[in-house]
């Protein structure tokens, strides 16, 4: 899975507007400030606050 690097530079956390970093497995976008991960499904970031997974519950992938 490859996400467009230009798009990643434009995306911010929908809650705090902070920067996001791509998880090593490229299956999520992490917000350090909110301590959560927004899943990436079928190469599409799911940028909804209610879909954010807390860091301690993130296991590298989210089942659909």
- Taking only the tens place, the pLDDT of each residue in 18-63 is 999 999 988 999 999 999 999 999 989 999 999 999 999 997 644 4
pLDDT at 2 over 90: no
In the chain the domains, ranked by start, together with CATH numbers, are 5-57 (2.20.25.10)
On whether the pTM is more than 0.95, the answer is no
Q: Which of 17, 10, 41 is nearest to 31 (CA)?
A: 17
Whole-angstrom distance, CA of residue 23 vs CA of residue 2: 12
Q: In this model, does residue 1 exceed pLDDT 70?
A: no
CA–CA distance from 53 to each of 4, 18, 46, 60 (Å)? 22, 16, 11, 11
64 pLDDT higher than 80: no
* Gyration radius from the chain CA atoms: 10
- Give the per-residue pLDDT at 62: 46
């Amino acid at each position: 899975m490859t996400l467009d690097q230009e798009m990643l530079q434009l995306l911010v956390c929908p809650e705090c507007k902070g920067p996001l970093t791509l998880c090593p497995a490229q299956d999520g976008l992490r917000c350090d400030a909110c301590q959560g991960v927004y899943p990436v499904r079928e190469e599409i970031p799911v940028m909804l606050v209610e879909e954010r997974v807390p860091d301690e519950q993130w296991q590298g992938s989210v089942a659909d």
